[in-house]
Chains A and B, each alone.
Chain A
């Protein structure tokens, strides 16, 4: 194991997720993207309101998703955010990403960790426009050139209907 689950590693993961949240809060998207490996997959499936007994489950691959992105897809989204003509982003949204319930487990590869967390995203715009989204994340973090990087992220929302007009951030 090149990544032992010692206290230092767990603290490093906490610090990594907090730093990531701070970059998102500040809309520092190009820097945020640098936290991903080149082969990263970022997936936020759409959630359906189905019965417990339904073998389809409430979400799954090959179905509609808010994000089913590789790094080049993420880059396109970021390009829009950075564009001077993204009228809906001005005045800017004021974001808070709160990350909690962090659990660190060994990964499938020796240079990887599986990390569970819960994220709460509060967005405020104009005077009283606001939306709160919740998500449970499962990340695969990989050690690349000494640094932690996100190789895979799955975010599952509890919301079967997004309680907002858009999702102009990342969770």
Chain B
């Protein structure tokens, strides 16, 4: 029995009956049974971001990553292909890899010396002779459990535990048109700068994910002090941008305007702006005029369920669920591989100055998200629906932009799209069932 899966009250809650009227039930940010179901039906099922290929340069390069609360080792195998396995020994369950990243010839469990190759296969163990004399013992059946599917999109590595999940290309769908804005604006592609910074927020993971999916509204208000520090002026009124949008595909969401460098300008570094201006004609040639104006514009993105980034600031991050009221934030910085070193340095420093735990923008987010989570401890507070009703009639057809397009980046359309996808996955018993519904 599982209180998250076999629970009619949760069935009813995750239908999100108020969503089309712009209402969300707060219990989805608080309830432990909802959270348990999320681990099964969102994180064990969706394609999760696990690494950038540049972090796994050679055979034996590895890093650990999370799909919900399941940890995997992502590794470049001897033949150059990528693999990912549960970081848990099939003997007694201990972790076999304790470092977050590095270079290895294999993985050995500290407990009884069970050892595994880069392909995840069991190689041997302490007192191997005893096992060899054990009738019926089959090493071949006892490797590290691999993910069901692993694939890359232009440098980003994703994995899913669900064999039924659609291919990564189908999962991302037309959202790749948008992803190319950051992943393919230069012929050399991208890389992550070295390092990784992690912090812990006392909030539900969805509150962070939906913020990046669509919350342009908070930029000018929450981050007024950060903008003042970095730009010497407030964030411009985003509600008055002549051309700005919420777009979404399969719950993946991008809010943006077409000011080209609005986000990038907050790094307050001429090296970054000169680079973007110098690249503009090339980017237009690669991606067209419209997408060239998205490269560093005021915008934010969430790839469903929990992989977010900011074009221009180039902070890339995952919101890892750690219980309904706690989120581990893992962050990296993306740069174009062919960019000069001083440009990469400028982005590394700028992203840290703005969006790290000590960053002048990020510092203000955690406080709000923790408050938005914790208030729901109150049983009466929890009964009050939340308002997600902005832009209910903002849906438009656009000659170039694919997916569900809404006019105006100050909008709740992307947040509703995220929760619609969440609701579908939380209700569906399998990917097959959901894909059949998508097609119908």
Contact = CB atoms under 8 A, between A and B. Distances in A.
Interface string B205-224: 00000000000000000101
Contacts of B69: none
Interface in A49-101: 49-51, 54, 56, 59-60, 62-69, 73, 76-77, 79-80, 83-88
Contacts of B363: 80, 86, 88, 166-168
Given A80-B363, A165-B199, A49 B99 contact: yes
With most chain B CB atoms within 10 A of its CB, the pick from A59, A66, A69 is A66
A168 B367 CA distance: 11
Contact of B196 (A48, A73, A86): A48
A162 B363 CA distance: 13
Contacts of B222: 87
A164 interface: yes
Interface stretch (B225-233, B288-296, B394-402): B225-233
B202 interface: yes
Nearest to B330: A161
B367 A165 contact: yes
B194 interface: yes
B366 interface: yes
A67 B348 CA distance: 11
State the main secondary structure of chain B at its contact with A.
Answer: mixed
Interface stretch (B38-46, B120-128, B299-307, B353-361): B353-361
Q: Main SS of the interface on chain A?
A: loop
Contacts of A146: none
B364 A88 contact: yes
A66 B357 contact: yes
B268 A76 contact: yes
Interface in B217-256: 222, 224-226, 228-230
Interface string B338-377: 0000000100110011001110101110111010000000
B195 interface: yes
Interface residues of B, number: 44
B136 to A, nearest CB: 36
Interface in B153-199: 193-199
Interface string A132-164: 000000000000000000000000000011111
A66 B352 contact: yes
Contact of B366 (A66, A68, A84, A166): A166
A44 B362 CA distance: 17
Interface stretch (B100-108, B278-286, B383-391): B100-108
A56 B100 CA distance: 12
A128 to B, nearest CB: 11
A49 B197 CA distance: 11
Contact of A164 (B228, B229, B333, B357): B357
A134 to B, nearest CB: 15
A166 B194 CA distance: 21
B195 A63 contact: yes
Nearest to A161: B198
A80 B197 contact: no
Contact of A162 (B98, B103, B197, B370): B197
Contacts of B101: 48, 50, 56
Nearest to A55: B103
A165 B229 CA distance: 20
B428 interface: no
B328 A62 contact: no
A162 B198 contact: yes
Interface residues of A, number: 39
A46 B367 contact: no
B435 interface: no
A76 B102 contact: no
B142 interface: no
Given A49-B99, A64-B333, A88-B363, A166 B353 contact: no
Nearest to B370: A165
B198 A64 contact: no
A64 B199 contact: no
B205 to A, nearest CB: 14
A85 B357 contact: no
B228 A85 contact: yes
Contact of A76 (B193, B198, B229): B229
A37 B124 CA distance: 58
B66 interface: no
B103 A54 contact: yes
B271 interface: no
B225 A86 contact: yes
B230 A49 contact: no
Given A64-B195, A83-B228, A162-B197, A56 B358 contact: no
Nearest to A170: B358
Contacts of A87: 222, 225, 364, 367
Nearest to B349: A68
Contact of A160 (B100, B102, B225, B226): B100
B419 interface: no
A79 B228 contact: yes
A62 B228 contact: no
A167 B358 contact: yes
A167 B329 CA distance: 14
B265 to A, nearest CB: 14
B102 A85 contact: no
B332 A64 contact: yes
7 contacts: A65-B352, A66-B352, A73-B349, A83-B224, A87-B367, A88-B364, A160-B198
Counting from the closest, the 8 A-B pairs by CB-CB distance are: A64-B195, A165-B366, A63-B195, A83-B225, A63-B194, A85-B224, A86-B225, A80-B229
